[in-house]
Structure 1
Amino acid sequence: MNIAIFGGSFDPVHIGHEMIINKLSHLSYINKLIVVPTYLNPFKKKYLIDPEDRFKILDHMYRKNKNILISDFEINRNESTPSIITVEHFKSLYNPKKIYLVIGSDNLRTLHLWDNFEKLNKLVEFIVVNRDGYEVKNDIIQFKTINMNINISSSSLRDKLDIKYIPKKIQKKVTDIWNKELKKL
């Protein structure tokens, strides 16, 4: 069995994430796609939408797809979790033939700074999702590329609270959560 791990803040989940997950779930060399919302991204200091709410939204979107697992592994750790810990967890859980780790092309230039990068690089093959404005080349790793060219980011959505980039299936849930979180500020 080959697995792919797609981690991220998903704060909020947007149509770009939806497109990436759908594309990954149809790749013939991936048997199971594991989507892992973070408790807190190791490179960020806070989140807008609670980790449990992000998990519930993703689970709502994909619970009927048996080839996609939405995992609360990092959320249950209740702390920022480096990718190496997540990869080792799923390696021991599934004992896969191959592990793919999905990252955005914007992560390529700082990938060597990730915790235990050398070990991570030996355990996985990277799949890099191409995003407008980022060059997809790197001398450090070998990787597969998925060309999505989606010019959207969760951080810009949080700043503008622009619901049109949220998948229709979850727009009401995300709007309700945004409104609840904004009242806390």
Structure 2
Amino acid sequence: MKKVGLYFGTFNPIHIGHLVIANHMAEYSHLDEVWFVVTPLSPFKKKKSLLANNHRYEMVYQATKDYPKLKPSKIEFGLPQPNYTVNTLAHLDEKYADQYSFCLIMGEDNLKGFHKWKNYEVILENYDLFVYPRISEGKVEHQFKDHPKVHRVNAPIMEISSTFIRNAHKEGKNIRPLLPQEVWSYMDEMNFYR
């Protein structure tokens, strides 16, 4: 049975920071694959600047197609909105019970707010969390600090954000080095984030 790390996000757009972290998780942990789960609408984000689902999925597909251990996933597109991770995990377990076991990949900043997630106790009881470092302020909740299901992975710290990329692109800045070539080409051709 393959062990799959689920990397949730709006990926608006996906950038090299996402790829570096996902690839590090696939190569330096006991995960067999990392799936980029493209989220239609996060309960914590506003939809104002969000590209259509199919465009964000296409950019993730373009970014990952040459990496056998990294896969795009649109599993949440057909689930009730807004998406909650606990529901997606239940759906995936039901659909792929014999093929895959799942765990979550998240940044340290997300772990700090993890106690606010819907049914976070159920997630923590049934799934491992692989946490990558972020430069941020504030403390991680004590209950997660030494939890046996929370695994800190010494991945490179990537302080690139999709928000920064969108804003810089709108201002006419050259952001090409921050994106996989195929993502840049698609974004430019479609005239996104201008």
Q: With the length of structure 1 as denominator, give the TM-score of the two structures.
A: 0.85
- SS class of match (1:26): helix
What's the C-alpha RMSD, in Å, of the aligned pairs?
A: 2.3
Is the 8 Å Cα contact of residues 112 and 139 (structure 2) preserved in structure 1?
A: no
Q: How big is the shift at 1:67?
A: 3.2
Q: Are 2:85 and 1:72 aligned?
A: no
Is the 8 Å Cα contact of residues 41 and 80 (structure 1) preserved in structure 2?
A: yes
1:124 corresponds to which of 116, 127, 144: 127
Q: Which runs of 5+ in 1 are unaligned?
A: none
The aligned residue for residue 151 of structure 2 is 144
Is the 8 Å Cα contact of residues 135 and 157 (structure 2) preserved in structure 1?
A: yes
The aligned residue for residue 169 of structure 1 is 182
Is the 8 Å Cα contact of residues 99 and 123 (structure 1) preserved in structure 2?
A: no
Q: How big is the shift at 1:51?
A: 1.4
Q: How big is the shift at 1:64?
A: 4.5
Higher deviation after alignment, 13-22 or 168-177: 168-177
Q: How big is the shift at 1:86?
A: 1.4
Amino acid at match of 1:167: P
Q: How big is the shift at 1:169?
A: 3.1
Amino acid at match of 2:9: G
Superposition map of 1:83-122 within 5 A: 83-95=85-97, 98-122=101-125
Is the 8 Å Cα contact of residues 105 and 134 (structure 1) preserved in structure 2?
A: no
